[in-house]
Structures are given as structure tokens and as C-alpha cells.
Structure 1
């Protein structure tokens, strides 16, 4: 897919929906790379890409390698309001961002040990605070990974 609304795998396991685009997106779309995205943008984007890798990495402790070598082969960033029909799972970060999508959260239930995160397994929808370290600590990421694992997100 070559659109400035989308960066990453054509059929991603996980799409992170964000309300704003990074710098040099048109160049990045042609050759998606987390390293190029980080180099062309602020520390803010490094945090977003790192959190995406921590959640999506098939092996929790190997998220750095996953981020640097294969993140955009298995995941994507999407910037338009509305869900893409090519993704296995959808991750919307931030309450303001969620408002762009209407009533998607009507079937989502908070995680027992982490009420700031909601999941709707039927829609394969993950709702979290905005992807920033202050709001998505390693502890919160671990709760997200545990929930996604219960629904078969990670390959066995």
C-alpha cells in the first residue's frame, strides 16, 4: 500500500492508529523503516515506534531487534480516521484519537489489572492511553501483552 495515510505492512498483524503524521512520510512509505522514521523525526516518534515494537514483538525481550529489523514488515501506522480492513488487530491510542472513530469502544472491556487499557476481542480492538512512556509503562505493556496473548495474537 502506498498512501500517506498508511506506513508499514500491507496486511499487518497490528495497526496503530494515530492522529498525526511524522515528517518525511512520503519517503518512508516507499521504504518503511523504523530507523529512518526515528532519524527523520523527534524523540516523540522514537517512543511511539518503541512502544509499538514492545507490544507487537513475538518475543517480549527481543523488541529492539524486532523494532530495528522487522517492525514494519508485521505492523503498520495508520493516520486516517476509520479502521483499515487489512489488519488482524487494531490499536487506537488516546481518548482524543478514539473520538475520530465514533462508537468503536462500545464492546471494549477494561483489563482487570489495568483499567486504563480496554480490549474488544470480537473486533480485535485494543484501546490504550496515547503511546507515551508516561502513560504506557513497561508494566502496562506487560498487561497488554498478556491480554493479547490470551486472544492468540502472538505466534506459538
Structure 2
């Protein structure tokens, strides 16, 4: 599998190194993804929902709309074309996509978020590496 969601339609793409196990009848269902892949994917999807939700009700967004139109997750070795926001998560993804940190500017002092145009280099989506403080810093930039 090379993607979750429709990468052509989505305005925001999250790039991760490894695809999850999916139910072929419903590849974007939150409950199914968590059931098949465990807590690791629960965290990824919650962080993505918090980043993409148009209001503060990220739980409903996660359960009803996530990966349906506004965002997608790509496991490809290149950035998708088009005028999209690209969230490249984790150093393994930065390297896989050939992105050089020297071309980006930091968005905060800890050096965990970087930006170059519509491309953002972020930590891997895990609560310890990508806490709410970073979500709140990145979220308005994705609008």
C-alpha cells in the first residue's frame, strides 16, 4: 500500500515510513486501523485529527471525517505534486524523501518543527515526540 486516503484530493499529506495493516473493505476507518495496528496507529491518527480538525472537536473529526477528503497519508518515496501542505514525519521520512534540514528554518526553539514553503519537517507522530504544544504551533500554518 502506498497511501491511506486520496492523495490527489487531499490538501494536506502526512508522510510516514511504514504503512499499516488495513481492512481492504474500509482502509480509512479509525477503529479498524487501531484494531489491526494497535496503540501506535491510534496515536498517529489522533495527532493527525488534532492538526486537521477545523474546530476543537477532534474526536468527532477523527471518527467521522479523517482521511476522507482533507488529508491523506503517503508512504511513497517522493512528495506528491500540487499545491498541498506536506507534513514529513520523522527523520527516516525526511531522509527517504531526500529533504535536507539545512534548507528549512525552525519554527520553535527546540528544533522539532521546520518549514520551507508548504513543507513541514516534524517529529514522528507520537505523544512524547509530537506533544500538543507542537500541534498548536503547526495547526494554524496548515490553513
Scaled by the length of structure 1, the TM-score of the pair is 0.81
Check if 1:133 corresponds to 2:127: yes
What is the RMSD of the two structures over their aligned residues, measured on CA atoms? 1.9
Check if 1:17 corresponds to 2:15: yes
Q: Partners of 1:110 and 1:25 in 2: how far apart? A: 38
Gaps of 5+ in 2: none
Shift of 1:22: 0.6
Describe the superposition over 1:25-81 as per-residue Cα deviations: whole angstroms up to 9, x where unpaired: 64444xx2222212221100000000111111111x111111111111211111111
Q: Partners of 1:81 and 1:120 in 2: how far apart? A: 18
Q: Contact 1:55 / 1:145 at 8 angstroms: preserved in 2?
A: yes
1:7 is aligned to: 4
Check if 1:116 corresponds to 2:109: no
Map 1:77-96 onto structure 2 (within 5 A).
77-86=73-82, 88-96=84-92
Matched length: 141
Shift of 1:23: 1.0
Structure with a larger share of its residues in helix: 1
Q: Which runs of 4+ in 1 moved over 2 A?
A: 24-29, 103-107, 112-115
Scaled by the length of structure 2, the TM-score of the pair is 0.88
Gaps of 5+ in 1: none
CA 129–108 in structure 1, closer or farther in 2 if over 3 Å, else same: same
